[in-house]
A and B are shown apart, each in its own frame.
Chain A
Amino acid sequence: MPFITPVFGERMQLKIRPRQLASVAILTGLALAIAACGSYGKGYPNSTFNNTTEFNTAVKSLWDKLLFWGTFVFILVEGILVYTIFRFRRRSDADEPQHVHGNTALEIGWTIAPAVILTFIAIPTVRTIFRTQARAVPNALQVEVVGHQWWWEFRYPQYTTRTPTGRVDTLVTANDLYLPIGRTANFTLRTKDVLHSFWIPQLGGKRDLISNHTNYLWFTPDTSLRTTAFNGSCNEYCGASHANMRFRTFVVTPTEFDGWVQHQLGPAAFAVAPPAPPTPAPADTTRAAGAPTRPASTTPAPVPVTPAVAVAPQPIGYTFPMDSLPNYSSPKTPTPAGLSFPDNITGDAQRGAQQFARSACIGCHTVRGTIAASPIGPNLTHIATRSTIAAGIYPNDAKHLRLWIKNARMMKPGVAMPTLGLGQRDPITGATVSQSLGGLSDQQIADIVAYLQALR
């Protein structure tokens, strides 16, 4: 029964054989892989290989063992395989090899050998499981992580403030997580809707947020860390904008953290939106810090709960300086084509405050000390101190805020924030936003953005 392989049977002279091409490719690939390994951990802002927390240190030490044994097994098995196929390739069709059907000793051997290796992996694995899932230390910083489609709410129940009306408000922020270096952070993980997963590759994780369940995770940013920012993300597929559910983690010194807490607990810069007289044309001066008069307006404006203190205080305390935000933490998402905002409009924070208070905004957002007190969307009390908007996908600046309010749904697929710009088409409902639907003119949007940017 002659067998003819067109490729390997014939000895051709000048002909590229796929096998030769392949060996070149494989060698190149190997070189690239080695190069990649050499640089591993360096220059990769979301690397999981580091010792920034005791959690990651434990995982990395496990990973090192796994990588060692994995590499050992890889070299052993692939080495024997490659040797076998070269050594025992057919030289003549008349070859008649020995007909071994098996070898009990060998087979027992390669059943036991992997079992031994696996034991070397299993023991540290089990120890690490119990160590990392033990109860967090009692004086840990408590952080409640609440997942929403598609943004992160971080609450610090140990830090509260009492409003003039006597309500106790918890320190709450969105998409910016501040952690003090050297103090264990104990996360309580919950979700308002579908499943999400909380992960900061550089620090540790990940732990899923499960509807109708509460999960826990803790780790301690190592004292060797300096003040810096890390990226975090959602890792459980959660719908249209799963990719757009990111956050920033700022590890800061304990002093900076205290300053941050103090600042975040303070009242909003524009604590009260005073009912303003219908202001004509954009004001040529920004009166952000001016003391507004209380106009005798009859507009059914929101009733302030406290006297107007619309003085934008010089921010006290601490906010991570945005100009030192690492490159990997400053979002570069391009704005959608077909969505623009005129450059020549100047916003007025005062008017913006009033506009905000009588727009759809207050249906979902809270600005502490004003009538805006809905828990649905991110809390905006100190929005100007945040590093990003829309869960880490756009920088927190006037340009992006304006576009966002104008047509959020073009900027982030599926988002709950409605399209508000007059004449804009809502990509979800397909409707064009009109005055009666609460549409906002470019001027009104610019005013609101000026207000938001004053909420330091």
Chain B
Amino acid sequence: MATVAASPTYAGAESGEQTGLWSWLTTVDHKRIGVLYLYTSLFFFLFGGLEAVLIRAQLSGPNKHLVSAETFNQLFTMHGTTMIFLAVMPLSSAFFNFLIPLQIGARDVAFPRLNAFSYWVYLFGGLFITLPIFFSAAPDGGWFGYAPLTTRQFSQGVNIDFWVLGLQILGISSLAAAFNFITTIINLRAPGMNLMRMPMFTWMAFVVQFLLVLAFPVITIALFFLQFDRFFGTNFYEIGAGGDPLLWQHLFWIFGHPEVYILILPAFGLVSEVLPTNSKKPLFGYPVMVYSGILIGFLGFGVWAHHMFSVGMGPIADTVFGLTTLLIAIPTGVKIFNWIFTMWGGSIRFTTAMKFAIGLVALFTIGGISGVTHASPPADLQQTDTYYIVAHFHYVLFGGSIMGIFAGIYHYFPKMFGRMMSEKLGSWHFWLNFIAMNLTFFPMHFSGMLGMPRRIYTYDAGQGWETFNLLSTIGAFMLVLATAIFVWNFFRSKSSGALAPDNPWDAATLEWSIPSPPPEYNFAEIPLVESRYPLWDLTHPERTSEIPHTHDGWSDQEKAAEAKPVHIEKDRRTAKELGIPMPLPTIKPLFVAAGIVVMLSGLIFIHKEDKTAAAALIGLGAIMIIGFLYAWVTSPLEPDHH
């Protein structure tokens, strides 16, 4: 059935001008940008993991001093910042980029050049916030950056400057991408793909984009206040001038809690693709899965102060936020049951992706249960800021997000790179990862409830924490081994894995109807959709016979022609041969992104005696932004082909 005869080159590489470094710097193809996101975020994932290993090495026993207090504080700050903003979010972005247009039957995202811009801002912002660690100047105020510790009075150095500016830069990337995907999903769906026929991953991605659009402005404001305090002498958080540290906490968590769902919902989406495919069954309760996803996103904005039960908000606020937090367990529980009942009665094939997906269901459940234990404010007072919380959110973010993302990588690797990953290595990766993950994080429940605070670079002997910490550290080193197997598998499979067929997993959605890897134009003919599972309509009509099939959204000609809904493209042709106009590659988004970073980095030097460096960088950055943005908006997206 292999439609790919030759060794697959990357999508779009057929046309000569699209190979080599330059083609990657100038690409506006959502699939290549997705791959760039994937590589970059995997790199940052490894980097953040390395930071975690150093943290665990330091805490392996009492009174250890492998690294200094200052270095440790930079390590845990950067571990959190890296994993959240530079690893898990962009790993999700890799899938948004690669999958959304393919799943909705589109040829690209709505704004391909803006998409490239989002990536470059992310890359430069990530480097901007990461590189200072090599000069012992990394941010050291925690990923939550609580004022007033982050104000100039208590953090004199440039460490926090890099953090504030870095997060602002990354916010630009997230917002630009979010608007792009919202526009794409609303406008570019194939005929017949109404909202309730969208694949679950695209649905969850859709919810996440709204969370991004609504949550990021809040942290942007919070960061602007801090930025102005630090650079221009305002007094939003300056305690000497009556500033209020709680302003920061509220703003940060109004962003910070939806951020949790920004991190987890894409993984939920990926798992919702993997579980039905490998169970030979449709997703159980599709509409409920959609509504619960929306509800989680919505409730996510009403629970932020559960991060603040110990700040003394008073019994009324504690009660309200405790109850809303308990409520969020309901739609999450519904999702868990729906996943299990998707498998129930099915024919479960244990691909590596499936193992990771089941792993998510098993581990996220634990994270959810421990989450309920600190939704109760009085109980949370004994838990907050201890290792119990560290255990909880690693079950959610590692057991949830990361397991889901690994499921996604194993599942979509054939589509992305045209080759299969080794299932054998994958199995080793899964089991080692699963055991190591539990070994690392489960003992933290105990160390936390037995009184160990978070964010301490050392602890004294005889506190009853030694065994649990040693176990956690052993687990962390096992995770290194598991991840090494994954990296080996990834690169080996990419160069010499078995060639992938179009639809290796017998899946139901549109991305599997085109060659692996997809051609630059994705779909030679835009597919027509008549049900939720367009490909199963073709290959396994019995699986979809119970759900309605309509031609709503098709044009009259399409209805009249009784067109074949999904077209399976057998031959690899170029866009030129098919006469499909493709967006022109361009370097301008990269330079605009670079301009933003150059301009903001000027602020780092603003407190120096000599203002030349600051003025020069700000000026140069501004010129780059304006110049390249002008060139960008005045150049056509596609070649003139009239």
Q: Taking the nearest CB of chain A, how far is it from the CB of B467, in angstroms? A: 8
Contact for B377 among A89, A125, A197, CB less than 8 A: A125
How many Å lie between the Cα of A78 and that of B337 in the bound state?
11
Which residues of A lie under 8 Å from residue B384 when comparing CB positions? 206, 235
Shortest C-beta distance, B493 to chain A (Å), equals: 12
A324 within 8 Å of B (CB atoms): no
Complex Cα distance, B432 from A444, in Å, reads: 59
Contact at A45–B69, with CB atoms within 8 Å? no
A201 touches B347 (CB 8 A): no
- The answer to whether residues A47 and B246 also contact, given A62-B376, A210-B312 and a CB cut-off of 8 A, is no
Q: Report chain A residues within 8 Å CB of B348.
A: 84-85, 88-90
Give the Cβ gap from A433 to chain B, nearest Cβ, in Å.
21
Minimum C-beta distance from B157 to chain A (A): 11
Which residues of chain A come closer than 8 Å to B141, judged between CB atoms?
Answer: 237
Pick the contact of B451 from A47, A85, A216 — CB < 8 Å?
A: A47
User: Within the complex, what minimum Cβ distance (angstroms) separates A74 from chain B?
Assistant: 6
11 A/B residue pairs, CB under 8 Å, sorted by A: A6-B422, A33-B442, A44-B464, A67-B373, A74-B366, A78-B365, A99-B281, A129-B318, A207-B312, A212-B242, A237-B141
- CB of B370 closer than 8 Å to a CB of A: yes
Chain A: CB-nearest residue to B377: A129
Measured between beta carbons, the chain B residues less than 8 angstroms from A204 are 381-382
What chain A residues lie within 8 Å of B311 (beta carbons)? 208, 210, 215
Pick from A63, A67, A206, A328: contact of B463, CB under 8 Å = A328
Partner of B329, one of A48, A114, A413: A114
Of B19-27, B297-305, B319-327, the segment with at least 4 beta carbons within 8 Å of chain A is B319-327
CB closest residue in chain A, given B70 = A240
Q: Shortest 3 CB-CB distances between A and B: which pairs?
A: A46-B451, A243-B456, A201-B451
The A-B contact count (CB < 8 A) is 344
Q: Is A385 among interface residues, defined by CB-CB distance under 8 A? A: no
Decide if B362 is an interface residue (CB 8 Å cutoff). Answer: yes
Q: A62-B379, A103-B284 are in contact. List 12 more A-B contacts (CB 8 A).
A: A3-B506, A6-B423, A44-B451, A67-B373, A85-B350, A91-B347, A97-B280, A99-B281, A114-B329, A118-B329, A244-B69, A333-B63
Closest CB of chain A to B479's CB: distance in Å? 14
Whether A118 pairs with B372 at a CB distance below 8 angstroms is: yes
CB-defined contacts of B365 to chain A, threshold 8 Å: 73-74, 77-78, 81
- Known A-B contacts A70-B369, A235-B385; the reply to A101 vs B286 at CB < 8 A is yes
Contact A8 B350 (CB under 8 A): yes
Interface residues on B, range: 35 or more
Does A226 reach chain B (CB closer than 8 Å)?
no
A46 with B63: CB separation less than 8 A = no
Find out whether the CB atom of B146 lies under 8 angstroms from the CB atom of A107.
no
A414 with B69: CB separation less than 8 A: yes
Q: Does B398 contact A (CB under 8 A)?
A: no
B69 to chain A, nearest CB (A): 4
> Shortest CB–CB separation between residue B338 and chain A, in angstroms?
7
B418-459, CB under 8 A of A: which get 1 and which 0?
Answer: 000011100110111011001100110010011111111111
Which segment, of A14-22, A252-260, A340-348, A435-443, faces chain B? A14-22
- Expressed in whole angstroms, the Cα–Cα distance for A361 and B175 within the complex equals 54
Picked from B243, B284, B428, B439, the residue with its CB within 8 Å of the CB of A101 is B284
* Residues of chain B having any CB pair with chain A under 8 Å: 1, 62-63, 68-70, 73, 141-142, 146, 148-149, 154, 239, 242-246, 279-288, 310-312, 314-315, 318-319, 322-323, 326-327, 329-330, 333-334, 336-338, 340-341, 343-351, 358, 361-362, 365-366, 369-370, 372-373, 375-379, 381-386, 422-424, 427-428, 430-432, 434-435, 438-439, 442-443, 446, 449-464, 468, 501, 503-506, 542-547
With a cutoff of 8 Å between Cβ atoms, the chain B residues found around residue A90 in the complex are 280, 347-350
The answer to whether A236 and B146 touch across the interface, beta carbons within 8 angstroms, is yes
How many Å lie between the Cα of A416 and that of B461 in the bound state?
25
CB distance from B281 to the nearest CB of A (A): 6
A114–B334 alpha-carbon span in the complex (Å): 9
Any B CB within 8 A of the CB of A227: no
A residues contacting the other copy or chain, number (CB 8 A)? 113
CB of A3 to closest CB in B, whole Å: 7
Within the complex, which residue of B435, B443, B458 is in contact with A25, where a contact is CB–CB below 8 Å? B435
**Does A158 lie at the interface of the complex (its beta carbon under 8 Å from any beta carbon of B)?**
no
Which residues of the other chain, A, contact B461 by a CB distance below 8 angstroms?
332
Cβ A194 vs Cβ B288 within 8 A: no
Complex contact B340–A80 (CB within 8 A): yes
Nearest-CB residue, chain B, relative to A2? B1
CB-CB under 8 A for A231 and B435, given A3-B349, A208-B310, A328-B463: no
Complex CA–CA separation, A231 to B463 (angstroms): 9
Per the bound structure, the CA–CA distance linking A182 and B304 in Å amounts to: 37
Q: Give the Cβ gap from B457 to chain A, nearest Cβ, in Å.
A: 5
Contact B460 A1 (CB under 8 A): no
Collect the chain B residues with CB atoms within 8 Å of residue A17's CB: 427
Q: Which of A1-59 contact B (CB under 8 A)?
A: 1, 3, 5-8, 17-19, 21-22, 25-26, 29, 33, 36, 40, 43-49, 56, 58-59
Residues of B within 8 A of A91 (CB): 347
**Could you tell me the distance in whole angstroms from the C-beta of A70 to the nearest C-beta in chain B?**
4
Q: Which residue of B lies closest to A133 (CB)?
A: B315
Given contacts A70-B369, A125-B322, A194-B154, contact A19 B431 (CB under 8 A): yes
Q: How far is the CA of A112 from the CA of B119 in the complex (A)?
A: 43
- The 8 Å CB contact of A201, one of B282, B340, B382, is B382
Q: Does A424 contact B (CB under 8 A)?
A: no
Chain B hits for A199, CB < 8 A: 453
Chain B residues closer than 8 Å to A126, beta-carbon distance: 319, 322-323
The answer, yes or no, to whether A281 is at the interface (CB within 8 Å) is: no
B440 CB, min distance to chain A CBs, angstroms: 11
**Is A141 part of the binding interface, using a Cβ–Cβ cutoff of 8 Å?**
no
- A129, B325: Cα distance in complex, Å: 15
Residues of B within 8 A of A63 (CB): 373, 379, 382
Q: How far is the CA of A49 from the CA of B382 in the complex (A)?
A: 9
Q: Report yes or no: A99 in contact with B542, Cβ–Cβ below 8 A.
A: yes
A327 and B460 alpha carbons, distance in the complex (Å)? 11
Kindly state the separation between the CA atoms of A201 and B286 in the bound complex, as whole angstroms.
45
Q: Is the CB of B460 within 8 A of A81?
A: no
In the complex, what distance in Å separates the CA atom of A149 from the CA atom of B149? 10
